[in-house]
């Protein structure tokens, strides 16, 4: 037999973290405990590492079908494995849009890193007519979103919530009021006022979330706020959770780490929607993630080719890649303990998807990541097809040492 032993790490499972080895034989976790026998198994040395269930990203743009020069499903899965992710939720803003069961089935891939399709709420993500919601549901879609655009019409969103709520699905919103944010390229504030660029004000996000929460109250549909970026949104979610609404939220690593001052360089690598906000907003989303008002991290991995970003800021496409750097950036920005860290990166996204796997359980198929919090690495030779990250060539703390699914070790890095 050719099994695997992950030895000497801190195993994070549920709310506990205990020193233990993990044995994986024929793709199944067969033992978890201290001082296990190595026999002839391959050894992954996990000294000073955290070992837990693979990370799950609720916000990945894989660009396939339609924009394969930026990324495709294979390169996106490779990048995910390098970032410690064993499952990604593919956003539906592909060409064609994932608004039918047929397209959803093309995107869904089962082996190794799982690709879970999300489905559009409206046909073509145009915000007008409902997408093929039953077909999408039958194809395995659990999360519905028009991500990249907002379902701006309250009547359309209400009917979507009623329909999707009845199916048992989740409505996720990219919150950006089209009127308030029209023509905007960056956060509206002191920096945009100096640079003379039109801004996306914080209230452009907050008025949509506030309205949507009233519709959640009305319809009872489960609702998820994508890439929370402002202190005001954190407050709205906190109040909604306190009143018992079925609401969850995610935050992107870059919103935990960077603020709008970066845009002073006018470098398009800092262009994304929602935009980088103020230092106060950064502090609020960090606190929200640490205290659980924001349930999880989601990368908003948005690949763009180098030539597409090599233009003036206002003409550049929005978004940065995130899968390969997310764990390091979250670790460096928020500094959570191992159980919190795994909750926000792995367990909470699984709960939002309605899945088990919040830990390392004997008898389950291996779905594991080994993370060395004090290790360092340099951001280079990325597996994504695109390089649009402000951390290119940076030295980061927190190394994804191994990513394992079944009997496949999909990623190893020392350091």
Partner 1 sequence: MSSLLTIESLTRQDIEEMIGLAGGFREVLDRDVPKVPTLVGKTVSLLFYEVSTRTRLSFERAAKALSADTLTFAPGGSSVAKGESLKDTALTLQAMGPDLMVVRHKATGAPWRVAEWTGLPVVNAGDGAHQHPTQALLDVFTLHRRLGALDGLRAAIVGDIRHSRVARSTSQALVTLGAEVTLVAPRTLLPVDLTEWDVATADGIDEVLGEVDVIYLLRIQQERGGGDVFPSIAEYVGRFGLTRDRAEQLSADALVMHPGPMNRGVEIDPAVADGPRSLVTDQVTNGIALRMAVLYSLLSGEGAA
> Does residue 192 touch partner 1 according to CB under 8 A?
yes
**CB of residue 198 to partner 1, shortest distance in Å:** 8
> Does residue 307 touch partner 1 according to CB under 8 A?
yes
Q: Which one of 76-84, 132-140, 309-317, 348-356 is the stretch in contact with partner 1 (CB under 8 A)?
A: 309-317
> Does residue 361 touch partner 1 according to CB under 8 A?
no
By CB under 8 A, the residues from 102 to 131 that bind partner 1 are none
CB within 8 Å of 410: residues ≥ 6 apart: 81, 112, 113, 403, 404
What is the Cα–Cα distance from 353 to 362, expressed in whole angstroms?
Answer: 22
CB nearer to partner 1: give 40 or 310: 310
Q: Which of 193, 291, 378, 414 binds partner 1 (CB under 8 A)?
A: 193
**CB of residue 309 to partner 1, shortest distance in Å:** 11
Residue 196 CA from chain centroid, whole number: 32
Number of residues that bind partner 1 (CB under 8 A): 19
- Kindly report whether the peptide bond that precedes residue 65 is cis, defined as omega within 30 degrees of 0: yes
**CB of residue 3 to partner 1, shortest distance in Å:** 53
Residue 196-215 contact track with partner 1, rule CB under 8 A, x = bound: xx-x-x--------------
By CB under 8 A, the residues from 315 to 334 that bind partner 1 are 315
CB nearer to partner 1: give 86 or 192: 192
What is the Cα–Cα distance from 203 to 226, expressed in whole angstroms?
Answer: 15
Q: Which of 19, 43, 182, 311 binds partner 1 (CB under 8 A)?
A: 311
CB nearer to partner 1: give 218 or 311: 311
CB nearer to partner 1: give 174 or 187: 187
Three-state SS at 180: coil
User: Which letter does DSSP use for residue 311 in this model?
Assistant: S
By CB under 8 A, the residues from 254 to 273 that bind partner 1 are 266
Strands in 130-213 per DSSP E: 143-144, 170-173, 186-187, 199-200
Q: Which one of 161-169, 193-201, 218-226, 297-305 is the stretch in contact with partner 1 (CB under 8 A)?
A: 193-201
Residue 300 annotated to the active site: yes
Distances (CA, A) of 251 to 161, 212, 257, 282, 286: 22, 18, 11, 10, 9
Three-state SS at 14: coil
Distances (CA, A) of 133 to 129, 145, 146, 156, 351: 11, 11, 13, 13, 22
Burial class (CB in 10 A: 0-12, 13-18, 19+), 220: middle
> Does residue 392 touch partner 1 according to CB under 8 A?
no
What is the Cα–Cα distance from 229 to 206, expressed in whole angstroms?
Answer: 10
By CB under 8 A, the residues from 2 to 31 that bind partner 1 are none
Active-site residue identified among 57, 212, 300, 367: 300
What is the Cα–Cα distance from 237 to 27, expressed in whole angstroms?
Answer: 40
Q: Which of 195, 290, 305, 361 binds partner 1 (CB under 8 A)?
A: 195
Which residues lie near partner 1 (CB under 8 A)? 188-190, 192-197, 199, 201, 266, 307, 310-315
Q: Which residues are catalytic?
A: 300
């Amino acid at each position: 037999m050719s099994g695997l032993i992950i030895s000497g790490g801190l195993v994070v499972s549920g709310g506990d973290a205990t020193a233990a080895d993990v044995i994986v034989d024929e793709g199944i976790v067969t033992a978890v405990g201290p001082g296990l026998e190595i026999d002839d198994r391959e050894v992954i040395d996990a000294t000073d590492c955290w070992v837990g269930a693979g990370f799950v990203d609720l916000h990945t743009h894989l660009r396939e079908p339609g924009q394969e020069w930026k990324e495709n499903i294979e390169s996106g899965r490779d990048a995910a494995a390098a970032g410690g992710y064993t499952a990604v939720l593919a956003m539906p803003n592909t060409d064609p849009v994932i608004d039918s069961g047929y397209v959803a089935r093309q995107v869904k891939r089962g082996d190794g890193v799982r690709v879970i399709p999300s489905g559009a709420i409206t046909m073509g993500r145009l915000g007008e007519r409902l997408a093929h919601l039953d077909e999408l549901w039958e194809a395995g879609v659990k999360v519905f979103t028009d991500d990249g655009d907002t379902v701006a019409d309250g009547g359309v969103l209400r009917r979507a919530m009623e329909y999707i709520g009845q199916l048992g699905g989740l409505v996720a919103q990219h919150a950006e009021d089209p009127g308030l944010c029209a023509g905007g390229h960056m956060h509206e504030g002191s920096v945009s006022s100096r640079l003379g660029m039109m801004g996306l004000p914080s209230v452009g996000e907050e008025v949509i979330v506030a309205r949507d929460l009233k519709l959640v109250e009305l319809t009872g549909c489960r609702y998820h706020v994508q890439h929370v970026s402002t202190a005001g949104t954190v407050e709205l979610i906190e109040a909604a959770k306190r009143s018992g609404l079925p609401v969850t939220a995610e935050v992107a690593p870059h919103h935990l780490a960077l603020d709008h001052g970066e845009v002073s360089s006018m470098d398009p690598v800092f262009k994304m929607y929602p935009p980088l906000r103020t230092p106060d907003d950064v502090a609020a989303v960090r606190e929200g993630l640490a205290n659980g008002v924001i349930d999880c991290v989601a990368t908003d991995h948005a690949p763009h080719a180098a030539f597409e970003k090599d233009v003036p800021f206002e003409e550049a496409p929005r978004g940065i890649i995130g899968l390969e750097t997310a764990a390091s950036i979250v670790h460096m920005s928020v500094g959570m303990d191992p159980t919190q860290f795994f909750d926000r990166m792995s367990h909470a996204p699984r709960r939002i998807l309605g899945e088990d796997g919040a830990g390392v359980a004997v008898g389950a198929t291996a779905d594991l990541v080994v993370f060395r919090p004090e290790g360092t690495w340099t951001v280079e030779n990325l597996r994504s097809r695109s390089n649009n990250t402000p951390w290119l060539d940076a030295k980061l703390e927190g190394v994804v040492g191994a990513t394992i699914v079944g009997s496949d070790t999909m990623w190893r890095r020392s350091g």
